[in-house]
Every structure is written in structure tokens, then in C-alpha cells.
């Protein structure tokens, strides 16, 4: 009898496991669906808004660009420089084994422009703005401000989401470009100090090895990261339930989801681009 009940619990635990996997994948799909819907709705308001006298305000877009982009310049600049220097240090250290330190520029240029600049920029913007978007919209939701907008005849997607989306779409690539430049500059400084290569020689080589394709690869990814950050941040904010605690949870969720989405997208890009 005892055995039977054991088997029963084992079976139901097994069943529960699959049940859970099933449910998780369904809610995951739902989540992706919601992001798609939000993106389409944003595009709709961007295009159809002016005709319904609901234009997207340039002022709000600029304010968001300041918040997402300009205020992030300091921290992203420092981090990009640190990564650039790190790549140079690690590159020279590794290549020394083969006595090929001179080739360090190749490695640094490729990794910085194609991978590290978009990645570090995306992750930092996610941490700063993805979470801030969720916190802001979540607070507005529990404070009934979103309902207030709706009854005032102001569509919240048009008023709040589209400006953030545009700002993020524009500013993440811009910041990424800055990261590339600063990362390479920091690398060049280290290479000059250790190998005695001039800055001019470093940048000559960099421009020689890099193609426009590499640059576009990095910036294109950055644009997609920008869209992902805005969508994930906004949706987690809209879905907040139950008071200040709900806002806190949404903020955390938002950062984790943003960074996961960025890393996975990055991997998929690398896979497709080198296929």
C-alpha cells in the first residue's frame, strides 16, 4: 500500500513536472506575443496617431533620449574603456605565447566592434533604463495614472511607450558607437604603452581589418537591443499588480529579462552572421 502511494506521488510529481514545463512554455509564448502586440501597437500610433490628433510629441522623445542616452554617457564610456583595455591586456598576454603580440589589433578591433560594444552598452542601458521604465510605468499603473490618461482621451501607448521606444532605438546604437570608439582608444593606449605601437598605427590597422559590415553588425544588434529593452521595460511596467511590492518585482524581472534577451539575441546574431 505504501509502495502504491509512493508510486502515485512519483507519478504525479512527474506529471506536475511536465505540466509545469508546458505551462511555462505557453506563458513564455504568450509573453513573446505580448511584446509583438506592443510593438505593432506602437507602430500603429506612430503612423496613425497624427490623423487621430494623437501625435507622438517630439518633446517627449527628446526628453527620453536625454534620460536613456545622454545621462548614460559617463558610465557607459568608462565601462567601454575598461573592456577595451581588458581586451588589449588579455590579447597581448595570450598572443605572447606564440610571439604574435603584433596581431593584437585584429582581435581587439573585431571583438570590440562586433561583440563587446553592443553587449556592454545594451546591458548597461537595460540596467539603467529597462528597470526605470518598468518602475515608472508600474508606479503610474498602481497610482491609476494610466487609467487617468485613458479617460482624458490620451492613449498611454502613444503618450508613454512610443517616445521611449524611439529614444531607445536611436540612443542604444549611438551609445554603442561611442563605446566602440572609447574601447578602441583605451586599447590603443595600452598597446602603445606595452608594445610601443603609435596610436596612428593602431587606428590604421583597425580601419584596415574592419569592414563596414562589421560596423553595421554591431550597430544593427544595438538597435535591436534598444527595441528589446524598451518593450520589456514597458510591458513589465504595464503588467504590475498589487502595490509598491509589485513595482519592485517588475523592476527586477525587467532587468533579468532584458539582459537574458540581449545575450540570447547576441548569440543568435553571432550564429547567423558566421554561418
Partner 1 sequence: MSEAATATVQEAPPEARTVIEVRDLVTHYGPREILHGVNVDIVEGEIMVIMGGSGSGKSTFLRHLMALQRPTSGSIKILDHDVWSLSQKQLFELRRKLGVAFQSGALFSSMTVGENIMLPLYEHTKLDRTTMEIMARMKLEVVELSGFEDLMPSELSGGMIKRAAVARALIMDPRILFFDEPSAGLDPVVSKQLDELILRLRDAMGMTICVVTHELDSAFTIADRITVLDQGNILFIGTVDELRSSASERIQNLLNRRSEEAEIDPDEYLRRLTGDKEEAEGMPR
Residue numbers at the binding site for partner 1 (CB under 8 A): 52-54, 139-140, 143-145, 147-148, 150-155, 159
The CA distance from 179 to 123, in Å, is 12
Q: Can you spell out the DSSP letters for 41-65?
A: HHHHHHHHGGGGT-PPPHHHHHHHH
96 vs 241 by CB, closer to partner 1: 241
Taking the complex as a whole, the smallest distance from the CB of residue 258 to partner 1 amounts, in Å, to: 23
Between 49 and 84, CB nearer to partner 1: 49
Contact between residue 254 and residue 131 where contact means Cβ atoms under 8 Å apart: yes
Cβ closest to partner 1, residue 159 vs residue 202 = 159
Contacts 24+ apart (CB under 8 A), 63-68: 63/163, 64/163, 64/164, 64/166, 64/167, 64/168, 65/167, 65/170, 65/171, 67/129, 67/132, 67/167, 68/125, 68/128, 68/129, 68/164, 68/167, 68/168, 68/171, 68/172
Amino acid at each position: 500500500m505504501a509502495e502504491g502511494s509512493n508510486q502515485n506521488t512519483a507519478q504525479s510529481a512527474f506529471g506536475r513536472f511536465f505540466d509545469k514545463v508546458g505551462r511555462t512554455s505557453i506563458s513564455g509564448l504568450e509573453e513573446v506575443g505580448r511584446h509583438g502586440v506592443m510593438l505593432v501597437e506602437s507602430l500603429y500610433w506612430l503612423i496613425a496617431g497624427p490623423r487621430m490628433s494623437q501625435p507622438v510629441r517630439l518633446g517627449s522623445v527628446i526628453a527620453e533620449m536625454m534620460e536613456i542616452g545622454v545621462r548614460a554617457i559617463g558610465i557607459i564610456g568608462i565601462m567601454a574603456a575598461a573592456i577595451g583595455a581588458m581586451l588589449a591586456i588579455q590579447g597581448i598576454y595570450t598572443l605572447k605565447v606564440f610571439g604574435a603580440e603584433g596581431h593584437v589589433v585584429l582581435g581587439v578591433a573585431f571583438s570590440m566592434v562586433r561583440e563587446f560594444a553592443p553587449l556592454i552598452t545594451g546591458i548597461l542601458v537595460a540596467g539603467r533604463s529597462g528597470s526605470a521604465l518598468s518602475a515608472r510605468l508600474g508606479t503610474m499603473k498602481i497610482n491609476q495614472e494610466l487609467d487617468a490618461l485613458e479617460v482624458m482621451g490620451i492613449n498611454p501607448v502613444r503618450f508613454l511607450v512610443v517616445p521611449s521606444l524611439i529614444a531607445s532605438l536611436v540612443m542604444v546604437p549611438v551609445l554603442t558607437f561611442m563605446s566602440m570608439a572609447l574601447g578602441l582608444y583605451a586599447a590603443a593606449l595600452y598597446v602603445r604603452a606595452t608594445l610601443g605601437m603609435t596610436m596612428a598605427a593602431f587606428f590604421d590597422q583597425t580601419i584596415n581589418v574592419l569592414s563596414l559590415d562589421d560596423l553595421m553588425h554591431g550597430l544593427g544588434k544595438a538597435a535591436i537591443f534598444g527595441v528589446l529593452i524598451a518593450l520589456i521595460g514597458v510591458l513589465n511596467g504595464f503588467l504590475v499588480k498589487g502595490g509598491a511590492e509589485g513595482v519592485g518585482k517588475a523592476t527586477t524581472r525587467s532587468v533579468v529579462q532584458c539582459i537574458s534577451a540581449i545575450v540570447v539575441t547576441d548569440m543568435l546574431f553571432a550564429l547567423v552572421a558566421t554561418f
